[in-house]
Amino acid sequence: MEKLKILHMYPNMLDLYGDSGNVEVLSYRCKMRGIELEVSKHLIGDKETDFTQYDIIYLGGGADFEQQILADDLVSCKDSIMEAYKAGTFFLMICGGYQLMGQYYKDSNGEKVPGLGLFDYYTVASTDKRCRCIGNIVIEAQLDGEKYKVIGFENHGGQTTNVKSPFGKVLSGNGNEFESSTEGYMEKSVIATYLHGPLLSKNPKVSDYVISYCMSRKLGEKYIPAPINDMKCRKINYVDEGFDTLASEMSADPKAILRLKPVNYYAIKNKYIMGKVYTSEDHQENYVQFFRYEYDHECGKTDIYPLSAELMSKALAKVGIIIDLKALAKDQ
């Protein structure tokens, strides 16, 4: 089995909006191609990390506070990171991770946080903390010579300028700056973007671009990922009542999903359970995985549990998503 190695930097601090899900998506899509993805972590104070030993270096998103805390540690790793970049290691960076790899980030209070200086762009936040780029966003990106629409969610106060090679053209949303025409930064071995979602779960083409690049570099010849029968993922937020016992309950009887109470994110965003329900196109293959979030940081997750088509449809019906299994059966 072929193997790729990914270094997840500061996963305990840079996980805004579940950005660690990007690593899970890469792992899943590698596994479906017979590729093992070995995941390692770099935390503050790790002095022995050799960044050149990895195929992918990943940084998720974080708020100003987290960026200020880890900035000095990141800069202390500059030489090894620069060596990895020059050697062709792939860099995937989301939001705060994107900002930290530039020249600097100046927050809304005027405090300047040094970046790694790997790229020429820099970021300055509005002095009015209410001025943020928030909402759904659609961009047009070019991957391996083909144009694709890439979707996600942006929420950033920082305005990133001096971007010489953007990830894509903004079709809807803001992008690097308020009402910008471009979003993110891209090179052949770099994707830096403000798009949450997570990015790779919403855009499998981007995930496969990363895998293709890394495998081609490892094999010394062009690697084209085999197609995957992608499953649809629907997210349901639940009141956090008994997450600690949820895993054992689901293992004993998947009907435990029906005891959970759906809730609007904005009503209980400080602490909640997110259920990710995966369904195949014919709804014959269905799974669910649960995540616990506190203040938009993932702080626990369960295994993945299979669901019958009937149980899946009942769980989705509780949030107004109706799957007519009888009609589907007739069509088949």
The phi, psi pair for 280, rounded to 5°, reads -75, 170
Whether pLDDT at 267 is above 90: no
Give me the mean pLDDT over the 164-170 stretch: 97
pLDDT band at 331 (very low <50, low <70, confident <90, very high): low
Of all residues in the chain, the percent with pLDDT exceeding 70 is: 98
Three-state secondary-structure class, residue 79: helix
Which residue is associated with the tokens 């937020």?
237
**How many Å apart are CA 124 and CA 107, to the nearest integer?**
6
Give me the mean pLDDT over the 165-172 stretch: 97
Please, which contacts does 320-325 make with residues 24 or more away whose CB atoms are closer than 8 Å?
321/234, 323/283, 325/283
Whether pLDDT at 329 is above 70: no
Tokens for 66?
């987290």
**How many Å apart are CA 312 and CA 258, to the nearest integer?**
10
Of residues 68 and 191, more confidently modeled: 191
Measured over the CA atoms of residue 198, residue 200, residue 206 and residue 207, the dihedral's sign is: positive
Any catalytic annotation for residue 196?
yes
Amino acid 304: pLDDT:
86
Amino acid 328: pLDDT:
62
**Domain extents in the chain:** 2-219, 232-331
Give me the catalytic one of 196, 214, 283, 297: 196
**How many Å apart are CA 183 and CA 206, to the nearest integer?**
15
**How many Å apart are CA 21 and CA 31, to the nearest integer?**
15
Q: Average the pLDDT over each of 94-108, 148-162, 200-214, 217-231 and give the range with the smallest value.
A: 217-231
271-289 pLDDT per residue, tens: 999 999 988 877 888 889 9
Whether pLDDT at 214 is above 80: yes
Question: Other CB atoms closer than 10 Å to residue 38's CB: what's the count?
Answer: 13
Contact present, 225 and 212 (Cβ < 8 Å)? yes
72-122 pLDDT per residue, tens: 999 999 999 999 999 999 999 999 999 999 999 998 888 898 999 999 999
Amino acid 330: pLDDT:
63
pLDDT band at 332 (very low <50, low <70, confident <90, very high): low
Give me the catalytic one of 95, 156, 283, 297: 95
Q: Which residues contact 253 (CB under 8 A, 6 or more apart)?
A: none
Amino acid 32: pLDDT:
87
Whether pLDDT at 203 is above 80: yes
Print burial letters for 210-225: b (CB count within 10 Å at least 16), e (below 16): bbbbbbebeeeeebeb
Phi-psi region of 113 (alpha: psi -120 to 50; beta: other; left: phi over 0): beta
pLDDT band at 296 (very low <50, low <70, confident <90, very high): confident
**How many Å apart are CA 147 and CA 124, to the nearest integer?**
30
Bridge partners, 290 (sequence order): 275
Nearest-10 Cα torsion for 138, 140, 146, 151 = -20
Give me the mean pLDDT over the 123-145 stretch: 91
Give me the mean pLDDT over the 196-217 stretch: 94
Q: Which of 132, 191, 136, 137 is nearest to 163 (CA)?
A: 191
- Which of the listed CATH numbers 3.30.360.10, 3.40.50.300, 3.40.47.10, 3.40.50.880 matches domain 2-219? 3.40.50.880
304-316 pLDDT per residue, tens: 899 999 999 999 9
Contact present, 106 and 123 (Cβ < 8 Å)? yes
Question: Other CB atoms closer than 10 Å to residue 5's CB: what's the count?
Answer: 17
Any catalytic annotation for residue 133?
no
Phi-psi region of 10 (alpha: psi -120 to 50; beta: other; left: phi over 0): left
Question: Other CB atoms closer than 10 Å to residue 227's CB: what's the count?
Answer: 9
* pTM to 2 decimal places: 0.75
Averaged confidence pLDDT in the chain? 92
